Amino acid sequence: MFRQIKNLSKLQLCNLYGMNTFRFTKDKQVKRKTKILMVIWIIIIFMLISYVSGLTYGYIIMGLEEMSLAYLIGISSMIMLFLGIFKAGSVIFNKNGYDILCSLPVSQTAIVVSRFVRMYVENLLLALIVMIPGMIVYACLMKPDVIFYLAGIIVLIFLPFAPVTIATFIGAIITAISSRMKHKSLVEAGLSILLVLAVLIPTSRVSGLEGQITPEMIKELSGQALSILKKIYPPAIWMTNAMRTGELLPCLGCIFGFLVLFAIMIWVVSANFHFICQSLYGSVAKHDYQIENMKKDSVLIAMYKRELKRYLSSSVYVANTIMGPIMAVIFSGTLLFMGTDSIEQVLPVSIHIENLIPFLVAGIFCIMTTTSTSISMEGKEWWIVKSLPVTTKNILDGKILLNLSLILPFYLVAEVLLIVALKPAVLQMVWLLVIPPVIILFACVFGITMNLKFPLFNWESEVTVVKQSFSAMIGGLGGFFMAIVCAVPVALVPEEYLGLTMVAVCILVLVITVLLYRKNNGVNLQEI
Amino acid sequence: MLTINQLTKHYKGSNKGVTNISLKIEPGDIYAFIGHNGAGKTTTLKCIAGIHGFDAGEILIDGISIRENPIAAKEKFAYIPDNPDLYEYLTGIQYLNFIADVFGVSVGHREKRIEKYAGLFEITPSLGDLISSYSHGMKQKLAIISALVHEPKLLLLDEPFVGLDPKAAVILKDIMRETCKNGGAIFFSTHVLDVAEKLCNKVAIVKDGTLVTSGNMEEIVKEGRSLESIFMEVVDNV
């Protein structure tokens, strides 16, 4: 059994982040692109390390050393948990190679464990990047006992283990439920989103504070965050205490508990592995079609319909890209009930938040666009559109249209909520209505630009494209960053220049969008 | 119908590809393209189909350059790859409608052609099912029907008989003959030399990315020899 797990895990891990392809490919273009991506990843990791180090330093200087470790453990665990829920089902029950694996003399348990190992290793890397800089800063400033280092090693090893086990368990249950349904992908996406929202919304209730931000206020907010963490994820506190005070027992007990949960999860998933896979991959063939009532569509509509079918066929694609629009509606709804005061109070400078609401909403809408991965999602079927008599514009317009049509109903609901909540003047209402679509349009076009630049077709699982590809990260967040950048001048200019600034921002974003759109449409797809 | 002049295509960072390939396929030709694995057959077909760009040379489809005017050129042909990776999230009929929409085929024509070819290949009842539920052979049949739904002048087929049952293979051969009788042309790669010899009027043999021989089948296969023996002799000696 261990030999099987070892061999299968090696198979799972050998091409992690495309390293095996990079090692053996003779295609210089692939090598060059991978090197560029590596440099960008190093910069991002360096930024993350700087942020973590700075944050830990700040907490310790303010006397919040407990919070510094708890925050790092808690936040990394939450990220691993939520991202894990979205992708666990796709990784554990990955279709790729399923037939070959089933024909090999390996147990189902070995298959499940090897796929779990892959998720664990991916998350361990994240844990190391987040925790080690924080621990180094803590060790330099606090000069802790040797127990800190001992407990630190245990925490590092088991930090991803707990959230990945929980995420795998939940992801497997969601996949098992959805596998019995007719619209498997939509049910799976819906359940994942509901679950994440069910945890996120109650935990985001940090009460508002009056006046400007002071160190005392940060301490108070930190205290609230710590008490929330205690309620929703006590292992973070036990792990923190193990490192800070050497109180190992609760931490070890928690690790033992997760080992038991892991064993149960592996046992349950292994026992149902074939059944779930067969339910997932088996299609009901009615075999009763009769040719009737055909309809002709334009090329653009044909492309759009195909994109929509592609989108709805993938739960991980839906779950990851629909969160932004859902969060935008929730944000607008929150403003309706809470007003803008609570946001203004926690901002470090005194500004009229009403002027920034259009940018905030636009930014939230743009978290993960479908366009940033829509070319990669073509995968091995990319040859079809390349061999058809359609222009690059036709193909890309279909992808942009899909993204816009997905956002449209959420945009309409959010706008109604915002107008009711803010009761804006005529001009403010114009900005509220115009700015989000302008930035959303930019985000969709920018997503295409990034995906054309960094396409990924030889993927084994959709998770690789939607959650791990470079274009998903950069392209998916382009609109969010654009919203922030545009909000800065609006926040800084005097009130009398506000209208002019808004017009300038809109024109600038539209010009950039048009330039990118034209550049995208001029791309020769043969080279992609 | 199809003119390939001095086609050269090399993959970046690799020696693989094709060099100086020139061929001419006339209306009414069934042209076999044979060679060992990795000889450059699929690369050539993908260059013609506009999937790959190429380093040098020219490809004209019915007089239209695939490089200069790809959309107009692509309207003239249909391409079927060696492995029919189709959109598994669509049903068979949705896929056929998608292809028909892209080629602007009228409702009347598409209905007539789908009815005809799906009936011949006996997959009409399965057209309402998702392609993911299809066997390899059914996907191949669907790919063939999609290629025929817009009545192209030129068919580019990469290993079209792989995965087809014997009856479907016979039907495909009949369709190929009928297409050529109506003034169309077919350029296809195959490893089945028997089929190539009996079905085709012209043949080209490619080895390590270069054309070894090409021309009329009866001129190449003569004096009671088989295409198989000619092929073995040519690829071993050149």
Per residue in B212-238, pLDDT (tens digit) is: 989 999 888 877 788 888 888 887 775
Question: What confidence tier does A27 reach under pLDDT thresholds 50, 70, 90?
Answer: confident
CA distance linking residue A107 with residue A38, whole number of Å: 36
CA proximity to A474, closest of A323, A368, A328: A368
Residue among A28, A289, A383 minimizing CB distance to B127: A289
Residue among B110, B124, B129 minimizing CB distance to A285: B129
- The residue-averaged pLDDT of A180-192 equals 72
The dihedral through the CA atoms of B131, B135, B136, B142 has a sign that is negative
Pick from A237-251, A405-419, A438-452, B119-133: least confident: A237-251
- The residue-averaged pLDDT of B187-215 equals 92
Tens of pLDDT, residue by residue over A109-161, are: 888 888 889 889 988 998 898 889 989 998 898 888 888 899 899 989 988 88
Q: What is the pLDDT of residue A418?
A: 93
- The residue-averaged pLDDT of A278-292 equals 76
Three-class DSSP category at A157: helix
Q: B168 and chain A: CB distance < 8 Å anywhere? A: no
The dihedral through the CA atoms of B42, B47, B52, B58 has a sign that is positive
Residue among B11, B71, B105 minimizing CB distance to A27: B11
Question: What confidence tier does A207 reach under pLDDT thresholds 50, 70, 90?
Answer: very low
Q: Which of residues 101-160 of A touch B (CB under 8 A)?
A: none
The H or E element spanning position B57 is: strand B56-61
**How many other CB atoms sit within 10 Å of the CB of residue A332?**
25
pLDDT at A212 over 80: no
- CB B140 within 8 Å of CB B126: no
Residue B46 — φ and ψ, nearest 5°?
A: -70, -30
Q: Which of residues 62-101 of B touch A (CB under 8 A)?
A: 70-75, 79, 81, 85-94, 97-101
- The residue-averaged pLDDT of B170-199 equals 94
Question: What confidence tier does B143 reach under pLDDT thresholds 50, 70, 90?
Answer: very high
Closest Cα of chain B to A246: distance in Å? 54
CA distance linking residue B172 with residue B144, whole number of Å: 8
CA proximity to A347, closest of A212, A490, A219, A217: A212
- According to DSSP, the β-strands at B30-35 and B202-207 are parallel
CB contact under 8 A, A28 and B72: no
Q: What percent of chain A has pLDDT over 90?
A: 32
pTM of the full predicted structure? 0.80
pLDDT at B91 over 60: yes
Residues of B in contact with A301 (CB under 8 A): 101
Name which residue leads in pLDDT, A281 or A330: A330
- According to DSSP, the β-strands at B2-10 and B56-61 are antiparallel
Say how many CB pairs under 8 Å bridge A and B: 127
Name the percent of chain B in helix, strand, coil, to the closest 5: 40, 25, 35
CB contact under 8 A, B129 and A290: no
Closest Cα of chain B to A373: distance in Å? 17
